[in-house]
Structure 1
Amino acid sequence: MSTELTEPAEATGEAVPDEETPVTLRGRLAHWRTWRTRRPVAARALSWTVTALAAVLVFGALLLPNRVGALEYNRFTRLPVEAILGAVVVLVLPRRPRVIVAALSGVLLGALTVLNLLDMGFLEYLGRGFNLVLDWGLLDDAQAYVEDSMGKATAVGAAVGAAVLVVLLLVVTASATVRLSNLLVSDRQTGTRATLIAGTVWIACSALGLQIDGVPIASDRAGGALKIQARRVQDTLHDEAAFAKEAKADSFGNTPGSQLLPDLRGKDVVFTFIESYGRSAIEDPDIAPGVDKTLDASTEALKKAGFHAKSGWMTSATYGGSSWLGHSTTMSGLWIDNQQRYRTVMAGDHLSLTKAFQKTGAWDTVGVMPGVQKAWPEQSFYGLDKVYNAFQMGYQGPKFSWSTMPDQYALEAFQRLVHGKKRDKPLMSEIILTSSHQPWAPIPKLVDWDEIGDGSVFDPIEKAGLAPSDVVTNSARSKQEYGKSVQYSVTSLTQWLERYGTDDTVLVFLGDHQPIARVSGTNASRDVPVSIVAKDPKVLDKIASWHWTDGLKPAENAPVWKMSSFRDRFLTAYGSTPHPSED
C-alpha cells in the first residue's frame, strides 16, 4: 500500500481501501457510522429530517382521500385513529414481532395508497371507484390508449414508471412505519403517555363532533377505505351469481324469427354509436353552442332531404369510458355496468337487438368497427354476419390519436363495401364511430366526399391538428376540442344519410356515454342523446307514444330511460311478440 493512501487514513481514523480491496456493504455501513460520530450535529439533523418525512408520509397515507376534488389542506389536519391503534400495538410487542408488524402495516398502507390513487383515476375518468376484482384488465386498456394516443415510448415509459413508483412506495412506506415504531419504543414511557393523550383527544373530538372547515378532526379514513374496498369485493362476488341468473331470463328469448320486427321488414336499419356523445355536449354552456348549432343545422338539412327525426335521452351504464358496456347494455336489454357482467352476457345466449334482425332471416347483418384492432369474438353475440375492423376498410391515411380513421372515411367505406351494393335482402348495420373519442386531438375535418379515396387526403389535416399533449392536461381546451369532435361526428353521419339514404333507410344513433369528468363535470348525469331518423312517416309513428322531441336535439324535459330498456321498447314498438325464455 502506498504512503499516499495510508497517511490520510491514519490521520483521520478512517479505513481507506486501496485498489485491490473491494468496497463491501459492511465497509459502507462502517463508514456511515464513522461519519455520524465525526459529525454528530449534521447526523442528528438528518435523522430527525428523515423521521419527520416518515411521519408526513405515514400520516398523509392514512388521511389520503380517494377523490381529486377532496385534496384540500383540511383533509390532512385530522387525527387518524389508525395511527393511535398502531402505536398501542407497537408498544406492547417484543422487538422482532414489532418490526414484522410495523413492516407489514407499512406495506398494507402503501397498497391502500395505491388503491386510493387508482380510485382517483377511475373516478376522474369513469365516474366510479376501482374494483379490485374486475378492473385490473382495464389497466392494459389504459396502456393501449396511451400508446395509441401518445406513442409506444410514452406508454412503455409510463408503465415502467408506474411499476417502479408502486414498488418504491411499498418499500418506503414499510421503512417509514418501522422507523416510527423504533422511535416510539426508544422511550416507552414517553411513547405511552403520548399515545394515551392522542387517544383521549381523538375520543373527545369524535364525541363533540369538532371540525376544521367542515371536516371532522377525528378520522378513521384508512379503516373506512378498507371497508369500502372489502364491500366492493363482496358486492361483486354476490352480483356475479345474481346477474348470471338474471341474464338467463329474456322476454323475447323464445320468440320465433317470424314474430320479430315485422314492422321494419324491407327497411335498411343502421344502429350507430357516437363515441362520448353525452348530454353535456348539448347542455353544458361551454360546449353546447357549437353542438346545438350543428344539430339544428343537421335537422334542417335532413328535412330538405325528406328525413324526419325524433330524439330522447337514455341513461348510460357507463361513464367516461368502457364504451363496450354502453353498446352491450343498449343491445342486450340488460344493465351491464362492469366487466364481469359483460363477460357473462357475451358468453351466454341472451338475444341482442342486432341478433334479433339476424334471427328473422330477413336481413343481412354487418358491423363496421374502426376501433377494433384484434380478434372480436363478440361478433357472435351481436349476430353480425360480417364485421369490418380497422384493417379491413382499405384505409391508408393517418391515425387521429386513438381513432384509427376519421368517421367520414368509415362511413364512406361502409357505403362502398356494403351499403351501396345490390343485395337480395335489406341490411341491418351496427357502426361505431370513433372520431369523438378522447383525447380529442387531432380532430379530422370534413373533406369532399368524392375526394376521400383511400384516406390519404387526411394526411395534411392530421399534421396540422393539435397534439394530444396540448389538450389532455387542459380542461378548458379539452371541452373546446370535445365539442368540435362531436360536431364533426354528427355532421359526418348526417351528411352520409343525406347523400346515401333512401326511402327505406332507418337510422338510429346515440352516444355510448358521457365524456370524462374533466369535460362533463364532477356532478354530470350519465344521460346520452338518442335519435331515430327515417323518411317513411310510419317508422316514426310507431314511436309516437314515446313522446320524444322532434328533430335531432332532445328537449331538456324529454323522457329519460335507462339504456337497458331500449331493446324491449324498440322490439315492441316495431311489432315483436314476447315469448319469454325460462330463467
Structure 2
Amino acid sequence: MAGPDPDPDLAASSPGTRPGWFGWRRRYPRAAGVVRVATTVLAGVFVIVADLVPDRLDRITLQSVVRLPVEPILLAIVLLALPAKARRVGAVVAGTFLGLTTVLKFIDMGFYQTLARPFDLVFDWTLLSDGADWVKDSFGRSGEVLAVIGVIVLFIAVLVLSALAVLRLADTMGRHRSTAVGTTLVLGTVWITCFTLSVEFGSVPFATKGYSQFLAHRMQSVSDGLGDAKVFAKQLHVDKYANTPSDQLLTGLRGKDVMFTFIESYGRVAIDDPAMAPEIDATLKQGDARLKAAGFASRSGWLRSPVTGAGSWLAHSTFLSGLWIKNQERYRTLTTSDRATLTSYFQKTGAWRTVGIVPGVRKSWPEGKYFGLDHIYDSTHLGYQGPYFSWTPVPDQFSLEAFQKLEHGKKNRDPIMAEIILASSHNPWSPIAHMIDWKDLGDGKVFYKIKKEGTNPTEVWKSASRVRTEYRKAIQYSLDSLTEWMQRYGDDNTVLVFLGDHQPVPTVTRGTANRDVPVTIVARDPKVLDRVANWGWTDGLKPAPNAPEWTMDTFRDRFMAAYGPNGG
C-alpha cells in the first residue's frame, strides 16, 4: 500500500539536496512550519477568491467572496484520485487555467467600466490596441509604455501565482491524504445541503457554482459569436432601396445642404441625470433661442445605440447602414460589402457633393470610401495648428469653422451632404476647450492658452463627480459650437441632423443599462420638418422623456421614406 507523497519542502531541506539558503528550513524547523502553513493558507485563499470574484467591480462585495464554491471541491476530488506525478501536472494545468480566467475577469472589469459589457473573446482583440492608443493620446507615450508593461507583468504574475497556488494545495493534499479526503467529503456534503436548501447570507446564496456559470456563459458567447457571421450575412443583403432609381432617392431634400453630425458620447444621461440636467437644459434652451432667432425650428427624439461607453464607429455605421453593427467583425464585413449607406445614397443621386469632416481620424482610414464620401478631411487636413486636448485632435468649434472655409462657405458650389464628427466630448473630457469669438480661431494656436487653463485628466479621474462635471461641460461645448455655427452660417437651404453616438462610460452613467441618445433635425424651411411631423418627435432641441425611442438601425429607412417621393 502506497504511503503519503514525499514532502517537497522537507526534500528541499535534506542534507546534500539543496545548497545555500534552502537549508534554513532544516536549521529553523519551527519557522519553516509556520511559513509552510501560511503559504498553504494563502494559496487556498487565492484559489477561493479567484473562483468567487465577480468580473464586475460594482459586484465585488464581502458577500460575493464569503461563499462556498463547488469548483474547488470538484478539483480536489480529481487531484486526490491521481497519482503523485499526474497530480502535480494536473495542478499546474488547472492553476494556469484558473489564472487565465482570472485575467479574463480583470479584462471584463475594464470593459464593464468603459463599454458596460464583458470582453468578447471572438471580436474584441483589436480593441486592446485601440485601448493602448487611447492611453497614449490621453497620457502620453510614457503613460502608454508604463501601462503596457504593467499589464504584461500583471498577466504573468497572475498565471504564475495561480499555478503555484494550486500546486501548493495539491502537494499538501498528497502529504495529508486522509485529512484531505475527509475535508473534501465534508465540504461536498455542506455544499450539497446548502445548495439544496437555498441557504443564503445577506440575500446571497452561500453554496455557489458561479465559476462554472461564468465559463458556460463564456462558451455560449463564443459559440454565438462564431455563428453571428451567418446571421449578419443574411441581413446584409436586405435593402428596400437597393433597386430604387437615383432620381427617386431623397427628392424631398434636393437643393439642400444636409449635415449629419455626431456628438461624441452625447447620451441620454446628459439630459436625464439630476446632477447635469439643469446646466444641459439651460444650454439646450439657449441653443433653441439662438436657432429661433436665426429662423430655424427643430424636432427631437431618441435613438438606441448598439454600443455604450465607446465604439463610436459601430454606432456611426449602424446609423448610416440601417444594420445593427454591434461588433468589429460586423463592421469589417459591412465596410467590405456593397451595402449602401445613407451617405452613399446621397452620393448615388449625383445631386450632392459628399464630404466627411473627421477630426478623430489620424491615420489611414480605408473604410472612408465605403461610406460614399467624395472627399474626407481628417485631423491633418483641417488647417489646425493648435494642441490636442487629451484624445481630441481638433476642438469642435474649429472643426466646424474649417468645414465652413473648406466647403460650406464656397460660392457657386453644388449642394453638400456632410458627415461631421465632433470629438471634443470624447473621454477623458479633460482638458476641454471653450467657446471663443469665431473671428479669433485663426489656425488654432489660440487653443494652446486655453489648454493650459484646463484641467488635468489624472486629477479629474480621481473623483467620479469631477468626471461627470467635465463630461457635462464637454457636451455643452459641443452643443454651443453646433448651434452657434448654425446661427452664424446656416441659411434657408441648411438641414442639420445631429445626434449622440453612444452613452458615456459607466462612471458617468452610474451603471445604467439605458443606451438611448438624443437625435435632432434642424431646418429653416418648414417643409423639411413637415415631412417628419408624423414621427411624434418633440419640438426643440430637447426630446421629451416620452418621445419615441427607436433603435439606431431603423433611422436610415425612416429618413429615406420621409424624404422620398411619397413623403413620410
Q: Same fold (TM over 0.5)?
A: yes
Q: Deviations over 1:327-359 (max 9, x none)?
A: 001000001111111111111111100111000
Q: In structure 2, what is the Cα distance between the partners aligned to 1:62 and 1:183?
A: 19
Q: How many angstroms does 1:523 deviate by?
A: 2.1
Q: In structure 2, what is the Cα distance between the partners aligned to 1:125 and 1:576?
A: 43
Q: How many angstroms does 1:33 deviate by?
A: 3.2
Change (3 A) 1:556 1:27: farther
- Look up the SS of the partner of 1:506 in the other structure: strand
The aligned runs of 1:435-474 (5 Å cut-off) are 435-474=424-463
Counterpart in the other structure of 1:155: 144
Q: In structure 2, what is the Cα distance between the partners aligned to 1:424 and 1:320?
A: 39
The aligned runs of 1:155-174 (5 Å cut-off) are 155-174=144-163
1:561 lines up with 2:556 in the alignment: no
Match for residue 118 of structure 2 among 114, 126, 129 = 129
Match for residue 106 of structure 1 among 79, 85, 95 = 95
Counterpart in the other structure of 1:16: none
* Contact 1:120–1:129, Cα closer than 8 Å, also in 2: yes
Q: In structure 1, what is the Cα distance between the partners aligned to 2:36 and 2:270?
A: 55
Equivalent position amino acid for 1:425 in 2: D
Counterpart in the other structure of 2:321: 332
1:301 lines up with 2:278 in the alignment: no
1:495 lines up with 2:466 in the alignment: no
* Contact 1:371–1:432, Cα closer than 8 Å, also in 2: yes
Q: In structure 1, what is the Cα distance between the partners aligned to 2:321 and 2:469?
A: 34
Q: Deviations over 1:343-391 (max 9, x none)?
A: 1111111110011100000000000000001111121221000000011
Q: How many angstroms does 1:524 deviate by?
A: 4.2
Counterpart in the other structure of 1:389: 378
Gaps of 5+ in 2: 1-14
Equivalent position amino acid for 2:216 in 1: K
- Look up the SS of the partner of 1:401 in the other structure: coil
The aligned runs of 1:371-450 (5 Å cut-off) are 371-450=360-439
Counterpart in the other structure of 1:484: 473
Counterpart in the other structure of 1:74: 63
1:255 lines up with 2:244 in the alignment: yes
Match for residue 33 of structure 2 among 44, 47, 69 = 44
Match for residue 279 of structure 2 among 290, 314, 319 = 290
Equivalent position amino acid for 2:533 in 1: A
* Contact 1:332–1:352, Cα closer than 8 Å, also in 2: yes
Counterpart in the other structure of 2:8: none
1:505 lines up with 2:494 in the alignment: yes
The aligned runs of 1:329-368 (5 Å cut-off) are 329-368=318-357
Equivalent position amino acid for 2:93 in 1: L
Match for residue 177 of structure 2 among 166, 169, 188 = 188
Q: In structure 2, what is the Cα distance between the partners aligned to 1:382 and 1:565?
A: 17
Q: In structure 2, what is the Cα distance between the partners aligned to 1:343 and 1:280?
A: 30
Equivalent position amino acid for 1:323 in 2: S
Counterpart in the other structure of 2:515: 526
Q: Deviations over 1:126-166 (max 9, x none)?
A: 11111101111101111100100111101111011101110
Of 115-124 and 483-492, the range deviating more from structure 2: 115-124
Equivalent position amino acid for 1:564 in 2: D
Q: In structure 1, what is the Cα distance between the partners aligned to 2:397 and 2:479?
A: 10
Of 113-122 and 544-553, the range deviating more from structure 2: 113-122
Equivalent position amino acid for 1:534 in 2: A
Counterpart in the other structure of 1:83: 72
Counterpart in the other structure of 2:164: 175
Equivalent position amino acid for 2:463 in 1: N
Equivalent position amino acid for 2:329 in 1: Q
Counterpart in the other structure of 2:221: 232
- Look up the SS of the partner of 2:502 in the other structure: coil
- Look up the SS of the partner of 2:496 in the other structure: strand
- Look up the SS of the partner of 2:564 in the other structure: coil
* Contact 1:260–1:577, Cα closer than 8 Å, also in 2: no
* Contact 2:492–2:524, Cα closer than 8 Å, also in 1: yes
Q: In structure 2, what is the Cα distance between the partners aligned to 1:288 and 1:435?
A: 19
1:269 lines up with 2:262 in the alignment: no
1:63 lines up with 2:59 in the alignment: no
Match for residue 201 of structure 2 among 212, 216, 229 = 212
Q: In structure 1, what is the Cα distance between the partners aligned to 2:247 and 2:369?
A: 20
Q: In structure 2, what is the Cα distance between the partners aligned to 1:455 and 1:318?
A: 32
* Contact 2:84–2:174, Cα closer than 8 Å, also in 1: no
Q: How many angstroms does 1:27 deviate by?
A: 9.4
Q: In structure 2, what is the Cα distance between the partners aligned to 1:28 and 1:438?
A: 58
Change (3 A) 1:258 1:577: farther
Q: How many angstroms does 1:577 deviate by?
A: 7.6
* Contact 2:270–2:276, Cα closer than 8 Å, also in 1: yes
Equivalent position amino acid for 1:169 in 2: V
* Contact 1:517–1:524, Cα closer than 8 Å, also in 2: no
* Contact 2:64–2:204, Cα closer than 8 Å, also in 1: yes
* Contact 2:135–2:144, Cα closer than 8 Å, also in 1: yes
Q: Deviations over 1:459-480 (max 9, x none)?
A: 1110110011012232100111
Q: How many angstroms does 1:576 deviate by?
A: 5.4
Q: How many angstroms does 1:42 deviate by?
A: 1.6
Gaps of 5+ in 1: 1-25, 579-583
Q: In structure 2, what is the Cα distance between the partners aligned to 1:577 and 1:185?
A: 80
What fraction of aligned residue pairs are identical, expressed as a percent? 51
Q: How many angstroms does 1:215 deviate by?
A: 1.1
* Contact 1:280–1:524, Cα closer than 8 Å, also in 2: no
* Contact 1:282–1:288, Cα closer than 8 Å, also in 2: yes
The aligned runs of 1:513-552 (5 Å cut-off) are 513-552=502-541
Q: How many angstroms does 1:29 deviate by?
A: 3.9
1:370 lines up with 2:359 in the alignment: yes
- Look up the SS of the partner of 1:456 in the other structure: coil
Q: In structure 2, what is the Cα distance between the partners aligned to 1:301 and 1:524?
A: 33
Q: How many angstroms does 1:423 deviate by?
A: 4.2
- Look up the SS of the partner of 1:151 in the other structure: helix
